[in-house]
Amino acid sequence: MFQIDAKKEKLTLVEVFGRPALFTTERVNRATVPEGLHAYDMQTSEDDWGQPCLMGKHITAEHFGTVLVSSPIKLGENGYRDMEPKDFTMGMKSRLMTAAEFLAAYPPKERPQVKRSSPDHGAR
């Protein structure tokens, strides 16, 4: 099965679950996904090949495409997430970007630092 190199290809800028993402109809070689990006496959339904209806880490049947995002998408306990038509939007003006350009424009959100208080050793 052919898989593209996420570091070399220009992918289409889209929106998935309200966040920016890179999209391709091809399968992406996960070993080529740059650090800071997360890859998810989308599946179509047999009734509508024009819209994804399911997202997961790996989809084998009815593959709609792959998205790369800079922050993880929460999947269900079964490892998948149902999708509605509003959950995947391609802009009217398709913009192509490399993964490096995408990371520069939409960097991963850093986790908030947890302040750790030092133990109170008493007065000296």
Q: Which two tokens stand for residue 9?
A: 């290809």
For 80-92, the pLDDT digits (tens) are: 999 999 999 987 6
Helix (H) or strand (E) holding 105: helix 99-105
Q: Which two tokens stand for residue 118?
A: 């030092």
For 18-29, the pLDDT digits (tens) are: 999 999 999 999
pLDDT band for position 109 (cuts 50, 70, 90): confident
The end-to-end CA distance of the chain, in Å, is 68
Q: What is the pTM of this model?
A: 0.84
Q: Whose structure tokens read 């929106």?
A: 15
> For residue 4, how many C-alpha atoms fall within 13 Å in the half-sphere facing its CB?
19
